[in-house]
Chain A
Amino acid sequence: MRAKVCCGTACTATGAYKVIDTFKTEAGKRDVSLEIVKTGCQGLCQKGPVLKIEPADIFYQRTKPENVSWIVGYTILGGAPYRQGLYRDNFLSEPVPLMTEIPFYKKQLRIALRNNGRIDPCNINHYLAVGGYKALEKALLSMTPDDVLNEVDKANLRGRGGAGFPAGRKWKHSKGAPGKIKFVIANGDEGDPGAFMDRSIMEGDPHSLLEGMALCAYAIGAQYGFIYVRHEYPLAVKNLNLAIKQAEELGLLGENILGTDFKFTVDIREGAGAFVCGESTALVASIEGERGFPRVRPPRLSEPGGGPWGFPSNLNNIETYACVPVIVEKGSGYFLSIGTKNSPGTKVFALTGKVKNTGLVEVPMGITLREIIYEIGGGILGNKKFKAVQTGGPSGGCIPEKYLDLSVDFDSLISVGSMMGSGGMVVMDEETCMVDVAKFFLSFTQSESCGKCPPCRIGTSQMLDILKKITSGQGQEGDIERLEDLGKKIVAGALCGLGSSAPNPVLTTIKYFREEYEEHIKDKYCRANVCSGLGVYTIEHSECFLCGLCKQACVFGAVKELRNKFFIDQDYCTKCKACYTACPIDAVKVEKQKHYSVQR
Chain B
Amino acid sequence: MDIKPDEIIGHIGEVLTEKQKKRGILIHAFQKIQHEYNFLPGDALKALSKKLDIPMSDVYSTATFYKQFYFTPRGKKIVRVCTGTACHVRGASKVLNKIKDEFNLEEGETTPDLSMTLETVGCIGCCGLAPVATVNEDIVGEIDMKKIEEIIEAVRQ
* Residues of chain A having any CB pair with chain B under 8 Å: 9-10, 12-14, 45-46, 48, 181, 190-196, 199-200, 224, 226, 231-233, 265, 267, 269-275, 286-292, 309, 311, 350, 352-354, 358-360, 390, 393, 424, 426, 428, 432, 437, 440-441, 444, 450, 581
B122 touches A275 (CB 8 A): yes
Check B49 for interface membership: any CB of A closer than 8 A. Answer: no
Chain A residues whose CB sits within 8 angstroms of the CB of B69 once the complex forms: 272
**Among B10, B31, B85, B138, which residue has its beta carbon within 8 angstroms of that of A193?**
B85
B86 touches A358 (CB 8 A): yes
Check B76 for interface membership: any CB of A closer than 8 A. Answer: no
CB B118 to nearest CB in A, in angstroms, measures 16
**Among B89, B94, B128, which residue has its beta carbon within 8 angstroms of that of A46?**
B128
Q: Can you list 23 contacts pairing A with B, beta carbon distance less than 8 Å?
A: A9-B124, A194-B127, A196-B125, A196-B127, A224-B15, A232-B121, A269-B27, A274-B65, A289-B25, A289-B62, A292-B65, A309-B16, A350-B127, A352-B85, A352-B89, A352-B128, A352-B130, A359-B128, A360-B128, A426-B85, A426-B89, A444-B122, A450-B65
A9 touches B85 (CB 8 A): no
Given A353-B86, A353-B90, A272-B67 contact (CB < 8 Å): yes
| Whole-angstrom CA separation of A390 from B88 in the bound complex | 13
Check B68 for interface membership: any CB of A closer than 8 A. Answer: yes
| Whole-angstrom CA separation of A333 from B121 in the bound complex | 42
**Interface residues contributed by chain B, number (CB under 8 Å):** 45
Chain B residues whose CB sits within 8 angstroms of the CB of A440 once the complex forms: 85, 88
Chain B residues whose CB sits within 8 angstroms of the CB of A269 once the complex forms: 27-28
Given A10-B141, A286-B27, A289-B24, A45-B84 contact (CB < 8 Å): no
Number of CB contacts from chain A to chain B under 8 A: 147
B141 touches A291 (CB 8 A): no
Chain B residues whose CB sits within 8 angstroms of the CB of A350 once the complex forms: 86, 127
A224 touches B68 (CB 8 A): no
Q: In this complex, which of B20, B31, B67, B129 has the most chain A Cβ atoms within 10 angstroms of its Cβ?
A: B129
A233 touches B125 (CB 8 A): yes
Q: Whose C-beta in chain B lies nearest to the C-beta of A13?
A: B139
CB B24 to nearest CB in A, in angstroms, measures 5
Check B57 for interface membership: any CB of A closer than 8 A. Answer: no
Chain A residues whose CB sits within 8 angstroms of the CB of B123 once the complex forms: 192-196, 232
Q: Whose C-beta in chain B lies nearest to the C-beta of A270?
A: B31
Given A232-B121, A309-B20, A272-B66 contact (CB < 8 Å): yes
Check B116 for interface membership: any CB of A closer than 8 A. Answer: no
Check B79 for interface membership: any CB of A closer than 8 A. Answer: no
CB B94 to nearest CB in A, in angstroms, measures 8
| Whole-angstrom CA separation of A193 from B121 in the bound complex | 9
A289 touches B27 (CB 8 A): yes
B86 touches A270 (CB 8 A): no
**Among A12, A292, A311, A437, which residue has its beta carbon within 8 angstroms of that of B139?**
A12
Give B109-141 as 1s and 0s: 1 = Cβ < 8 Å from A's Cβ atoms.
Answer: 000000000000111111111101000001111
Given A193-B85, A292-B65, A199-B125 contact (CB < 8 Å): yes
| Whole-angstrom CA separation of A359 from B84 in the bound complex | 15
CB A531 to nearest CB in B, in angstroms, measures 11
| Whole-angstrom CA separation of A270 from B65 in the bound complex | 15
Chain A residues whose CB sits within 8 angstroms of the CB of B67 once the complex forms: 272-274
**Among A13, A267, A352, A359, which residue has its beta carbon within 8 angstroms of that of B12?**
A267
Q: Whose C-beta in chain B lies nearest to the C-beta of A44?
A: B128
B31 touches A272 (CB 8 A): yes
Chain B residues whose CB sits within 8 angstroms of the CB of A287 once the complex forms: 24
A232 touches B89 (CB 8 A): no
**Among B27, B62, B89, B139, which residue has its beta carbon within 8 angstroms of that of A9?**
B139
Q: Whose C-beta in chain A lies nearest to the C-beta of B94?
A: A581
